[in-house]
Amino acid sequence: MKEVRLKERLENAFAAFFDDEKLDDDSLSLTNYENNSQIEQNSSFSTTSKKIFKIFKQIFFFLPANFLLFFMSIAFTAFFLLRPVGRGGRGFFIALLIFLLTSLMTVFGLGSLREPKHYLIPLSTISIGVILGIVGSLIFGDYGFNYFLRSVVPYFIPLAYIAPILVKSWVDKPEEPQFL
């Protein structure tokens, strides 16, 4: 009985202030506010935990893996250009395995392993490293390459971190329909 009177009073007050608009039945429903706050807390907790997990993935997987991948691609390119008669065997296999693991860690840290398009992310870092390895080995040669690694390459580290992020945004961009 009290709920009906309260609802009628609220309807009258609403009608006094808003003459032209209609009153929705759901807008004046009586709810328990404790239940609503628990639902809001659960949803904010899940979004907060996803954001924190994403930040930890980027810090602990993407940053070190991309750093290693960048320098390894420079070093491998220079090694194959400066010393073409390579020493195969176990060392090459281990280096290739580390190269593959750092590529996968880069994909996992910035993207998703389930998305095939995200495997383009480490290729941007590898391409920058290969270009720098070619330039350094051709210009500085065998004896000046150490100087190149210490003096010139650190200026390109920000580019090695910006390029994968740009590639991820380019790959994740939704496709727009093309009209003729």
Asked if 78 and 131 touch (Cβ cutoff 8 Å), the reply is no
**In this predicted structure, what is the pLDDT of residue 81?**
87
Q: Which of 106, 86, 110, 109 is nearest to 98 (CA)?
A: 106
**In this predicted structure, what is the pLDDT of residue 47?**
81
How deeply is 99 buried, as exposed, middle or buried, from its count of CB atoms within 10 A (0-12, 13-18, 19+)?
A: middle
**How many CA atoms, within 13 angstroms, populate the side-chain half-sphere of residue 71?**
14
The 3-state secondary structure of 73-86 reads HHHHHHHHHHCCCC
**In this predicted structure, what is the pLDDT of residue 10?**
74
DSSP code for 28: G
Distance (Å, whole) CA 8 – CA 14: 10
Question: Which residues lie below 8 Å from residue 146, measured CB to CB, with a gap of 6+?
Answer: none
177: left (phi over 0), alpha (psi -120 to 50) or beta: beta
One digit per residue, the tens of pLDDT, for the chain of length 180 reads 667 777 787 777 767 666 655 555 555 555 555 555 555 555 566 788 889 999 999 999 999 999 999 999 999 999 888 877 656 677 778 888 999 999 999 999 998 999 999 999 999 999 999 999 999 999 998 889 999 999 999 999 999 999 999 999 999 988 877 776
**In this predicted structure, what is the pLDDT of residue 41?**
52
**How many CA atoms, within 13 angstroms, populate the side-chain half-sphere of residue 109?**
22
